[in-house]
Amino acid sequence: MSPAMSVSVEINMEDEQLESQYQKGVRHLCESGITKIPRKYILPISDRPNSQKGDHNAENLSIKLPIIDFAELQGSNRSQILNSLAKACEEFGFFQLINHGIASDVILSMIDVAKRFFDLPFDERAKYMSSDMRSAVRYGTSVNQNKDGVFCWRDFLKLSCNPLSDVLPFWPSSPVDLREAAVNYSKQTKFLYVMLMEAIMESLGLVEATKDKNENESLNELMEDGSQLVVVNCYPSCPEPDLTLGMPPHSDYGLLTLLLQDEVKGLQIQHEGKWVTVEPMPNSFVVNVGDHLEITSNGRYKSVLHRVLVNSSKSRVSVASLHSLPFNCVVSPSPKLINEANPRRYKDTDFVTFLDYISSCEPKSKNFLESRKLT
């Protein structure tokens, strides 16, 4: 055997040995004391942070998202706030939500229990590993560890919340207060989502503001019975952060995502052709338009690409609450928003179609939404 072939065989054996370690997640790798990231996590040069046009020192470019005051949305300034909400969804696809009414102890408890879950021994976390996209609870790594050619620097815990009484027995029982904290958090964010969607539908002209809102009861029922997935993300400190990403550029599948960040920066959105960092704002949610809302609005409101940077000094935890219609509902452009000047732009879709799509391929950018476009 030639020296070159010998080196190749050794590398292949090393990759096979490490493959099982990759499947165990980034926390497990970090706990083993690595000082360099494995090749499985190294992005092609063109996909790395700061490598694309307009990306130079992107971590130093920050953005002030539009701020929506939830308390004012419920008050006499509602029409003015609705205009601001519409502008934010059209121009940014993101906004910061303040004065949301969720108690600080609910938020702090969720962040605290999330961090303690990822601090559990690997064998305890591994009990919840599953490749079933429909599972009530999933612990895993990267985005789709069965399909991703390059892994991203992220571990996650996904908790299905539909309905809570059915899924709760499957959620992790350790830490002992995880279920209680996550239930409180999911209920509060669900209420917030329903109220926000009511405002967004109003801003699109799809519902009317009435005192008793009887005509909107069916819509509210759809929202209240809608799908909810709470995703707890862990991005450990990374020895070579310029070579990888915590999450690659992507859009979210649902109607709205409510994101709770800790104090560590990492979230970036693509705005005016540049990647810009969203500065964490204490006691607020970052809310973003999902693919389903872009479809419902027939393209008026945009789901926007976003990604996550990692750093060499601090781990980062975030909690995303993803919301949409019930799993069996069809998502279509609203007939009220289709006319000769603005023809229908998207095919009908549903959650099963989305799951089948992401189960069959490596997700990239907004490829699922692109697959739904008619033109």
Name the CATH architecture for the domain at 17-372.
Answer: Sandwich (2.60)
Q: Considering the chain, what is the average pLDDT of its residues?
A: 86
Instruction: Give the residue with greater pLDDT, 235 vs 369.
Output: 235
> How do the domains of the chain map onto residue ranges?
17-372
DSSP 8-state secondary structure symbol assigned to residue 61? -
What pLDDT sits at residue 212? 44
How many of the other CB atoms lie within 10 Å of CB of 176?
A: 10
pLDDT greater than 70 at residue 51: no
Torsion of CA 347, 353, 354, 355, to 10 degrees: 180
What pLDDT sits at residue 326? 87
Phi, psi torsion values for 256, nearest 5 degrees: -140, 150
Best-predicted range by mean pLDDT (122-131, 166-175, 351-360): 166-175
- pLDDT, tens only, 187-222: 999 999 999 999 999 999 988 654 445 545 556 666
- pLDDT, tens only, 295-354: 999 999 999 999 999 999 999 999 999 999 888 888 999 999 999 999 999 999 887 777
Whole-structure pTM value: 0.89
Mean pLDDT of 153-173: 94
Angle at 268 between CA 365 and CA 141, to 5 degrees: 65
pLDDT greater than 60 at residue 113: yes
Q: CB neighbours of 20 closer than 8 A, spacing ≥ 6?
A: none
Q: For the chain, where are the E strands, in sequence order?
A: 62-63, 67-69, 94-98, 137-141, 155-160, 228-235, 247-250, 256-261, 267-271, 274-278, 285-289, 306-308, 316-323
Instruction: Give the residue with greater pLDDT, 190 vs 146.
Output: 190
Q: Give percent of the chain with pLDDT exceeding 90.
A: 63
pLDDT greater than 60 at residue 1: no
239 in Cβ contact with 37 (< 8 Å): yes
Q: Provide the token pair at 72.
A: 């004012």
- Split at pLDDT 50, 70, 90, the class of 372 is confident
What pLDDT sits at residue 207? 82
CA atoms within 13 A on the CB side of 130: 14
Mean pLDDT of 30-45: 90
